[in-house]
Amino acid sequence: MSESGEMTRRALLCRGIIGAAALRTPIAEPGARSVIRLRMDGGPSQYDTWAPDPGGLFRAIPTTSPALRFCEPMPGLAQQAHRLAVLANVRVPEINHRRARYLVCTGVQAPPSVVPELPLPSYSPATQGRVPTSAALRYGASDFGRQCFEALTHIERGARFAEAVLPGWDTHTDAAPRLRRLLAAMDRAMSALLDDLAARDLLRSTLVLWMGDFGRTQAVNRMGGRDHDPERSCVVLAGAGVRGGVMVRREGARLADVFATIAAVAPLYRDRRTAKGEPVRSLLA
């Protein structure tokens, strides 16, 4: 999706590539049977989410894991911390949003002269399911909440891959109020998704992956936001094959290592691109 949340040609290609890989993967292979990717469009800061920084925009709160503290607008996910593995300081070798999204989604770095992503809006009601009232109360009224519920429904019906996208994370200025709104939507929907996957006994066969375009600077700029930082991205894993309740701060962790870690538990991601990295074993059960 674009910054405005519009579906794009690149997004469709990205989903199609991974979907095709899922169809080629034998269901009998061990590991995660399905993957749900929660993509934060615009580049979230690890310091305003999973790894709060003293003197940052939000205070830190305790979680269900002694190894983890989250930002205070995330009380629901603080109760899910025992299920989550956080990899901080991931290097994404792009600072252009479109190029970074393409790399994060496909594992392929576009040539320098290419800026992927052509707008292709899709507002068809056929692409938007109706969320039951009981689910809407738990997932929230946001579009991201609807997408998370639909992802659950697709996985429950046997899909191998689903994605939910929350746009708006390009917070260079006046970040705190915008982030509070984004974090409220993310916290409610992601917490409900994890609970529902667990209640349906799907979490142990589904890998949930949270990631964005790239990271943001540790320093807050004079306009009250954070600027792009390709060395400070953050990835969160939950579900099949994941050791919950851990934080790994590895300087120089590469995006290729993230893909290799995913591939270690999710066969549908296993191909020549994931072979370029080394799995972060401390995140895995």
> Nearest-CA neighbor of 216 among 168, 170, 167?
170
More confident of the two residues 283 and 26: 283
CA atoms within 13 A on the CB side of 46: 24
At residue 129, the pLDDT reads 63
Average pLDDT, the chain: 86
More confident of the two residues 191 and 272: 191
**pLDDT for residue 173 is more than 70:** yes
At residue 30, the pLDDT reads 58
At residue 273, the pLDDT reads 59
More confident of the two residues 211 and 110: 211
At residue 111, the pLDDT reads 77
Separation between Cα atoms, residue 244 and residue 112, nearest integer Å:
38
At residue 55, the pLDDT reads 84
- Domains of the chain by start residue, with CATH: 9-283 (3.40.720)
- Could you tell me the pLDDT band of residue 19, with boundaries at 50, 70 and 90? very low
Specify burial of residue 46 (Cβ count, 10 A radius: 0-12, 13-18, 19+): buried
Separation between Cα atoms, residue 1 and residue 29, nearest integer Å:
31
pLDDT digits (tens, 9 = 90+) for 97-142: 999 998 888 888 877 766 666 454 443 444 456 788 888 899 999 9
Output the six-digit token pair for 203.
């979490």
Give every strand in the sheet of 206-212, ordered side by side.
161-167, 34-41, 206-212, 233-239, 84-91, 246-254
More confident of the two residues 113 and 35: 35
**The model's pTM:** 0.86
**pLDDT for residue 27 is more than 90:** no
CA distances from 263 to 36, 230, 257, 281 (A): 14, 23, 10, 12
